[in-house]
Structure 1
Amino acid sequence: MKLTYKIEEVINNYSEEKSFSGSILVQNEEVTYKNGLGYANLSEKLPVTSCTRFGMASGSKIFTSIAICQLVERGLLSFNTYLRDCLDINFPNFHSEITIHHLLTHTSGIPDYFDEEIMEDFEELWRNVPMYSIQSPHDFLPMFQNGEMKFEPGSKFSYSNSGFIILGLIVEQITGMKFPEYIRKHIFDVCDMSDSGYFRMDQLPERTALGYIDQDNEGACKTNIYSVPIIGGPDGGAFTTVLDLTKFWDGLLNRKILNDELTNKLLHPHVQDGQDIYHGYGVWILKRDDDIIKYFIFGFDPGVRLHSSFNTKTKTQTHILSNIEQSLYPIVTGIDKLFS
């Protein structure tokens, strides 16, 4: 059976409670499969296509990491630079020896504004802080700036959204550019990712899927416009397409956006997070017996799901974007098995 049919079979056998809604692209030298399923806009019955833009949630942390690496490449920063020496913002309870490396690897120990170890509902954040008030990295500061450290820097791994907010603030201070503008100019434009950007939730451009969250008692879906910040930033919230994700991985792996040394640094397994899973700078790494199998990014917000990967053995890219709350794991593992 041709691989394209096998991929189709994996998707058709998807056994979650809801039918898959989103866009999928699988590509290597031998096969290209792309398809859109479900609706980008339920009320208008607008179908999903390969050109539909979706939210990336935390998957876009890799852009923040690349921005920092670009500043290192330009000699404006180093991975050993202390936070206290590169940002003119006071964090009264933070450890004095937090470095850029700690922030990039989620080992800084700073308090997280959304601590996934103890919090489950991202929407809870906006009950006290209106989501429409979060329009820049600085707007997040009151949510964690005066918090207490969780542990000594470098002593353990703990996923931190706040760490990436700080990294975005560093990008803004050093470059004098707004974070979304920096990413557009130095990553999206360089990779020809013309459909990607940090769009306002109340000003979404054409071909952008609305994110849908849990149904109400009458079975009607509601969008996520009141469930996520009004505009994304350093910790997540960019929009992209499966086609642009292919351009991104091509640009990264072909050293278009970072030189060889910094690309290798970004993709190095710096810290372990569970069996076979490691974290680089903004990227996850599957590693078995000292052998790197794949690089991947993923993200989930209310009404947003993303998984995007590059298999180092088969040179296969797999990109899955969805606009409803469903697990992508069955499709991801099913496709991975086809190319193992």
Structure 2
Amino acid sequence: MKTNIVDHITDVMIENDFSGTVLVKNDKKTLTVKSYGYANRSEQILNSLDTRFGIASGCKLFTAIAICQLVEKGLLSFDTKLKDCLNDSFPFFDKEITIHHLLTHTAGIPDYFDEELMDDFEELWIKNPMYHIRNLTDFLPLFQNQPMKLQVGERFHYNNAGYILLGLIIEQTSQIKFADYIKENIFKKSGMADSGYFEFDSLPPGTALGYIDFPNGTWKTNIYSLPAKGGADGGAFVTVNEMDNLWDAFINNQLLNGKYTQQLLTPYINTNDDSSFYGYGVWIEKNENEIFKYHIMGYDPGVSFHSAFYPKSLTKVIICSNKSDGAYGIMKEIEKEILK
């Protein structure tokens, strides 16, 4: 590791006009922690170690852990069929879709935001105002009456709607609202008191606003670009320290027993090349048949997030940004400089 890693990361942040907070730790010490940019540009409030950031799809891991907890308790199985655990109507969905298919993005169902077909998330809210999207059931009209996109199990197709369904399964099985279940069974157990699924029009103190920058130098916040409250597919807010706590609790079997922790971390499906796989709510990258990293990521208008656990070095990286991009470039530099 270079002795000037903090200075190097700072230089990269400045070069990329990064806005957010970065934390890198191994099992012995903090390797680097650095914030840059503003949590609130209008008031010139700086990002800090305690800033709460949106992490978009990064919290699919929370949904997967919750499902595994219910399986561990014997209330579900990974082979349970969608038709047997949700009362909602999906007239065109294949009756053979299981929880395993939903967790691994292989269910073949239509997505409400299909990244293979769409590139502007804001198009969704023309007919379905984002300020109405506050509960998981509010997402259903966006996809529940559409035909299947693929055959069940045909291939990996990253799918946000599948994780909305998993959240509804959590609600119906536990009889607890999704956000409350995650708070009680994951956040509290992980020491994540400041994390949560917050509504855009009632954000708690210390929460970063997400910013969308335009080529002419102007910008806007993302309050009209995303659902008013995130769902089981994404939208929680965390601090970098609390995301570090989550990795510790998860890897040390405090959220699931060892059997189900390993089931979640199993590389079930190849995503796009020989080294990239998906488990349950987590991406898995191999290097010559050895696990290089378990990682999660999230991108929304005004949000970019990357976080990873590297089992060989027991290193954790958390990069939270309140801009639409920037986290990936910092992650690559950290991997180049620290993980040698």
Aligned match of 2:339: 339
Q: Separation in 1 of the partners of 2:178 and 2:299? A: 21
Q: Separation in 2 of the partners of 1:6 and 1:32? A: 8
Q: Separation in 1 of the partners of 2:100 and 2:288? A: 25
Tell me the CA shift for residue 32 of structure 1. 3.0
Q: Separation in 2 of the partners of 1:107 and 1:42? A: 41
Tell me the CA shift for residue 330 of structure 1. 2.2
Tell me the CA shift for residue 153 of structure 1. 0.9
1:109 and 2:96 matched: no
Q: Separation in 2 of the partners of 1:191 and 1:87? A: 29
Aligned match of 1:253: 251
RMSD in angstroms over aligned alpha carbons? 1.4
**Does the CA contact (< 8 Å) of 1:11 and 1:331 recur in 2?**
no
* Aligned residue type for 2:64: S
Aligned match of 1:181: 180
Aligned match of 2:304: 305
Tell me the CA shift for residue 7 of structure 1. 4.0
Q: Separation in 2 of the partners of 1:244 and 1:8? A: 24
1:277 and 2:276 matched: yes
Tell me the CA shift for residue 233 of structure 1. 1.1
Cα deviation, 1:134-180, whole Å, max 9, x if unaligned, reads: 01110011110011111111111000000000000000001111100
Equivalent positions of 1:1-340 (< 5 A) are 2-3=2-3, 5-14=4-13, 18-28=16-26, 29-215=28-214, 217=216, 219-275=217-273, 276-337=275-336, 338-340=338-340
Q: Separation in 2 of the partners of 1:297 and 1:140? A: 23
TM normalised by structure 1 equals: 0.96
Q: Separation in 2 of the partners of 1:177 and 1:30? A: 38
**Does the CA contact (< 8 Å) of 1:7 and 1:335 recur in 2?**
no
Q: Separation in 1 of the partners of 2:144 and 2:161? A: 9
Tell me the CA shift for residue 257 of structure 1. 0.5
Q: Separation in 2 of the partners of 1:8 and 1:323? A: 21
> Runs ≥4 in structure 1, deviation > 6 angstroms?
none
- Structure 2 alignment gaps of length 5 or more: none
Identity, % of aligned positions: 52
**For 1:202, what is the secondary structure of its paired residue?**
helix
Cα deviation, 1:227-286, whole Å, max 9, x if unaligned, reads: 000001101000001000110000000111101010000011010112211101000011
Cα deviation, 1:192-223, whole Å, max 9, x if unaligned, reads: 10110000101111110000012375x33211
- Structure 1 alignment gaps of length 5 or more: none
* Aligned residue type for 1:274: N
Tell me the CA shift for residue 329 of structure 1. 2.3
**For 1:23, what is the secondary structure of its paired residue?**
strand
Q: Which moved more, 1:284-293 or 1:233-242?
A: 284-293
- Distance 1:37-1:14 versus aligned 2 partners, 3 A rule: closer
- Distance 1:42-1:149 versus aligned 2 partners, 3 A rule: same
> Aligned pair count?
337
Tell me the CA shift for residue 327 of structure 1. 3.2
Q: Which moved more, 1:29-38 or 1:250-259?
A: 29-38
Tell me the CA shift for residue 117 of structure 1. 0.4
